Chain A
Amino acid sequence: MRNLLGATACVAVISTASVVSAFECKRSEANFDKPSGFPERALTMVVPYGPAGGSGQVAAAMAEAVTELTGIPINRDHKPGGSGTVGMTAYMAAPADGYNVLEHIDDASSAHALNSALPNPAKDLIPLAISQVTFSQIYIRSNETRFTDWPSFVAWVKAQDGKATIANVSKEGSMERVTMKFITDATDMSIQQISFDKGAPRYGALLGGQVDALFEQPGDVGNFLEAGQFKPILTIFGERPDAFAEVPTHLESGMDFDALLRFRGFYVHADAPADRVEWLKWAFQRGYCEDSYQAFNESKFMTVIDSYRETEGAKDLITRSIAQYRDVYKAMGMEVQ
């Protein structure tokens, strides 16, 4: 597996190359002259997911931060559906005048990896900033008695002969499904993945004992962790984050693959006027530094690892992710177009 993904040292990328901390971000200019009066009216932010989910919340937090900073209002236009493709298509059809920006997640990268006819977020768009980067974990109930840690979980799952269950969002080609394939291949265990597209039923399934484990990112289950209801037993990341120092990583547990990350960011059309793009980059990158946005990220466990990428760092992360997904899809026998 390591060979398969050898070219994509994603973990190293996270810990070294494109790390731009919030501290460094603070050093960027506090003011930026408007190019030829741009923007002279409100911006529109296309959000390809509903207002209540993770994307809706990050879009609202960033819009608020940018407005605080610049005084320019941002109208959020939610276009959910088709795993983000509906919103992406609507955005690509909108005028490339800099007044339209896009929020999107890593689904855009995996979708392009599977079908190159879909926009490449690093080439057909210009990333203004990626403001959330996070890793995944495997959770069990804190009061679980059948298994208590990763080794005992793996042993228990193997004894169930394929009847153990894990809740996730296992759409074809998704980060979750690909990562679970890495895990099951590496551990030689078979586990039934139950796909829940909404968070509440997914978390409720674990709380109520409908499933045995949960695949999720820590920010989305923060309240269950704080309440002591969920317990992480595996971190899918290159190193142990301080906040989860007791939890082994997949590498430590003998699974030799590079972690796929969940990331959310903001984009503008690649052919938007260059001076306007520069202003937007400044506004969104400084917006990340605003106290309100930092407080939001803190509440979402997004300060556990470095969660920020400026334009070049974002392009790098996206390009590597696309290559990684494409290799994995081919290895899984999926048709890559």
Chain B
Amino acid sequence: MIENFLAGSAALFGDPFTIGIFVFGVIGGMLFGAIPGVSMLTLAAILLPFTAALEPAQGVMLFAVIYCTGTYGGAITAILFNIPGSAENAPTAFDGYPMTQNGQSGKAVGAAVLCSAIGGIASSLIMMAATEPLANWAIRNIGPPEIFALVFFGLAVASSIGARTIWKGWMSVLIGLLIATVGQDPVGGINRYNFGMVDLAAGIAFVPAILGFFAVSEIFVQAEKKASGKYKAPKVSMTFPSWLELWMHKVAVLRSIIVGFLCGILPGIGATLAAFMSYGEAVRWSKTPEEFGKGKLEGVISAETANNAATGAAMIPLLALGLPGGALTAMMVAVFQMHDLQPGPLVFMLSPDLIWIVFAAMFYANLSILVIGLVETKTILNLLKIPFQFLAPLILMLATTGAYIGRGLVLDVIVMFLAGIFGYLLRRSGFSIPGIVLGLILGKIGEQNFAQGMQMVHYDLGTYFSRPICAFLIAAGVLTLATSLYRAFKSTKASA
């Protein structure tokens, strides 16, 4: 493996043009990942036709690099302005933005930089060591019932994130699940809650909803404070997390690498579920779960480690089996095909050079996150010095553009503002915005896999329990749910 890695590194850095493509991918991914709406997918779609003029290894490597750095890029705006660059950065905002408000922006961004790099590098190494056996294991053992069980397990902890009471936490998750049912059902294609509107048949898009619930509602909250004279500008902090602080979170980092990697390896699941699941696990294992959503460093660490750990993992089913894990990896299939190549088992035999250049590039791209991230962070943090009256319209403009640009639908802008208004009202009443977003995103994944799983087991729910991984996850979810309900009753009784 080391020999192949060194050969891949030599090929990558032995040609100035290839180095140029690598640097372009690193910076382009970070920039496009950071701007809401204009995601790394936008950049990839723009670049796709041009990859035909590149060598196959250069084209595939460019996309792999964009994937790594684009996944990290969205963390910065999530932490500083409560605007997640994409869905996989939404859990980063849960605690990252409260940290900014508490004057700990430097610490949050520093942790995001470091943990994105650690997660990405770790998954690159695992990817290099064991692509084929891991892909074969996952494909044989994880089907729709297991993915549904994983989502159920993830939702079971959502109640304790950021809500005033556990009951309101659960209500928040249920609101998210309800929103997730808008649009065509995932199996029969039957329209639900679209009120005859064609555009709603596709459901509520994630990006406008996330922008509304996070960015727009936050502007309303801050505007209210400004109007009532309670507004305090966030302090610009250049204090990075200390090595000791990071060492204290070593278990969280390790757990997030495992969770992120396992989610990333599943075809069609990817980094979004990884970030949410990892965040949920951090809450579950914490001795102080009530501190999550209020500015806990572990929240940022868990989400950012996991979403980057998923990038290397997502390459495993793509390269070993030809199965893309998400939209960007699906575009990589097109890059392969443009050069008369097909990802899958044969590519390891026919194009080992290409594979090892890609592996090496992903490793160095994650390393670049660390280097460039630490250098640029201090400049970026100064954005917080912009006065609120200038910053708020700028954020609103960016968010509106981001909501519209994804599908070019006015409906998405309306959804964003409605989510902003409802988000503002729900926050005032003590409901949890992370809970709603969690319900919305995991709800769609969960429903689809539940329906597929039920078809597979011939509508016999008991069969779910004959699948060991599925049974374990459901049992763990039920146990978490029971514990949560017990605590809720106990606290209600105590306060009565």
Contact = CB atoms under 8 A, between A and B. Distances in A.
Interface in B318-340: 321-325, 327, 330-331, 333-334, 337, 340
Given A82-B184, A208-B139, A60 B49 contact: yes
Main secondary structure of the interface of A (DSSP, over half): mixed
B202 A227 contact: no
Interface in B10-49: 41, 45, 48-49
Given A81-B202, A86-B198, A227-B344, A196 B409 contact: no
B143 A205 contact: yes
B144 A170 contact: no
B468 interface: no
Interface stretch (A33-41, A48-56, A278-286): A48-56
Contacts of B48: 51, 60
A97 to B, nearest CB: 18
Interface string B144-184: 10000000000000000000000000000000000000011
Contact of B455 (A171, A173, A193): A193
Contact of B342 (A196, A211, A223): A223
A80 interface: yes
B189 interface: yes
A197 interface: yes
Contacts of B199: 81-82, 86, 89
B458 A204 contact: no
A192 B458 CA distance: 8
B345 A229 contact: yes
A194 B456 contact: yes
Nearest to A89: B198
B420 interface: no
A227 B455 contact: no
A81 B201 contact: yes
Contact of A78 (B317, B346, B407): B407
B146 to A, nearest CB: 10
B386 interface: no
Contacts of A163: 458
B290 to A, nearest CB: 37
Interface in A202-255: 203-205, 207-211, 222-224, 226-227, 229
B150 to A, nearest CB: 14
A204 B139 contact: yes
Nearest to A57: B334
Scoring B183, B191, B331 by chain A CB atoms within 10 A of each residue's CB, the highest score goes to B331
25 contacts: A51-B45, A51-B327, A76-B45, A80-B407, A81-B183, A81-B184, A82-B199, A82-B201, A83-B189, A85-B198, A85-B201, A86-B201, A89-B198, A89-B199, A174-B189, A192-B458, A195-B188, A195-B451, A197-B448, A200-B268, A200-B330, A201-B267, A201-B268, A209-B140, A224-B322
Of all A-B residue pairs in the complex, the 5 with the closest CB atoms, nearest first, are: A81-B202, A82-B201, A52-B330, A171-B189, A223-B342
Given A171-B188, A192-B456, A208-B143, 14 more contacts: A52-B330, A52-B334, A57-B337, A79-B408, A81-B183, A82-B184, A85-B201, A86-B199, A86-B407, A194-B144, A195-B187, A195-B188, A195-B451, A208-B138
